[in-house]
Chains A and B, each alone.
Chain A
């Protein structure tokens, strides 16, 4: 591995141009454009950084502001508003999406970080007009009341079931402990995940 070799001199300029880094390269932007405080205006689009990622199976090339979160990219740039932003600080799970197979809080990840990766949102679950077994199960078992937390719950459950196709109640509780439900529909959410697991096992065999 070239990483273990002695450090070679790399000029700042080389970094700035992203030469030789290959992966995402390097970005320079004026700071007035910083947009973590959503009240601040985003900078002119010509300063945004191009990335490419796969969203719900489709290749997407898009320019992002350096501090834009993945949730902002999905909702504001790609108009995929199924993903909800509630606390916007990594505590409630409302914004959960699946990134390279793992559940993550999209409000808590830079859009830049999704470069080259695969994102699945609740919009990507349906096959044509057919609901995904998880969506079906949440509907049949009343796994929601107001429904605001549901897209996040479903995406967290999706990642859990990929890892553990037949989870125990304890495993569901642990796997989904990062998703809060203000309506406290928890018992029904657990039932829904169990029902979905059964449906999915039935369909794949």
Chain B
């Protein structure tokens, strides 16, 4: 900074409840920067420095503390630290795919701070929870409330591309509802990075499936990190749905997903590598399912 004259005003707000948060969101004409665990924000220096109005979400109980297990699923506050999910006995039992994914994010210190809302709103195609929330068909509840209600959106209505979301006009993610898959559902999540801990995914794959009388009744497949938006591999899914799971089918599915995904090339790896690995991951997943 050339002079030490203050240029803009900079404010930090810490609303204590939803009403205050909603009032703040609605009454602030300027865009605000929401802060949950700050694990992404604090390393994005440009974004962090240019933020004029910071709104800390961690005092709003509805966002920071909500963890409500219901019969058909769980409602999770967008700012709840991932470590709470990892240690919750019922979430471990009913959503092992989510727990496994969270355990692979950063390290314990990161998991003690990082949140689902931050992972989604950061909108990185490498956000590890995104493919998993997609196969779980999570429902996002978006504030500020209109007539006392959150707007309900799916993940692909919120995450539009790298760094891009539909959360304009101070809208924020309040909560995430995750329906429980059937208890006997098959699940798979694997990320391929440069090393085990503290690695950004180069390619990841989430699969959730259910068989009925030896046929695939339902299958959801979502690659992570390979495409700018988080999209399920629907063509590959329909190739498998209603079919018996055989080695031949698995090879077809692998070929299909390699055609279906159109990966990005970036500093972490090339298109061809990502395409091949996505196919191999699907193959691995389906063989595991075949054999268990």
Which A residues form the contact surface with B (CB < 8 A)?
1-12, 15-16, 20-34, 36-37, 40-41, 49, 66-67, 69, 89-91, 93, 96, 99, 102-105, 108-110, 112-113, 156, 159-160, 174-179
7 contacts between A and B (CB under 8 A): A7-B144, A9-B23, A10-B23, A29-B12, A104-B112, A109-B113, A178-B106
**Contact present for A108 and B8 (CB under 8 Å):** no
- How many angstroms from the CA of A49 to the CA of B10 in the assembled complex? 13
Apart from A20-B16, A21-B59, A32-B4, what are 18 other A-B pairs with CB-CB below 8 Å? A10-B23, A15-B15, A23-B14, A23-B16, A30-B8, A30-B9, A31-B6, A32-B1, A36-B48, A36-B49, A89-B43, A96-B109, A109-B38, A112-B14, A113-B56, A177-B107, A177-B108, A178-B109
**Contact present for A24 and B14 (CB under 8 Å):** yes
Q: Which of B1-27 contact A (CB under 8 A)?
A: 1, 4-20, 22-24, 26-27
Minimum distance in angstroms from B104 CB to a CB of chain A: 10
Known interface pairs A89-B42, A177-B198. Does A7 touch B5 (Cβ–Cβ under 8 Å)?
no
- In this complex, what residue of A is CB-closest to B5? A32
Q: Does B88 contact A (CB under 8 A)?
A: no
Q: Does B52 contact A (CB under 8 A)?
A: yes
Which B residues form the contact surface with A (CB < 8 A)?
1, 4-20, 22-24, 26-28, 38-39, 42-43, 45, 48-49, 52, 54, 56, 58-62, 83, 103, 106-110, 112-113, 144-145, 148, 196-198
Question: What 8 A-B pairs are tightest by C-beta distance, nearest first?
Answer: A178-B107, A30-B6, A177-B197, A31-B10, A10-B23, A3-B18, A21-B16, A32-B6
Minimum distance in angstroms from A105 CB to a CB of chain B: 5
Known interface pairs A21-B15, A28-B9, A89-B43. Does A102 touch B49 (Cβ–Cβ under 8 Å)?
no
**Contact present for A103 and B45 (CB under 8 Å):** no
- In this complex, what residue of A is CB-closest to B28? A12
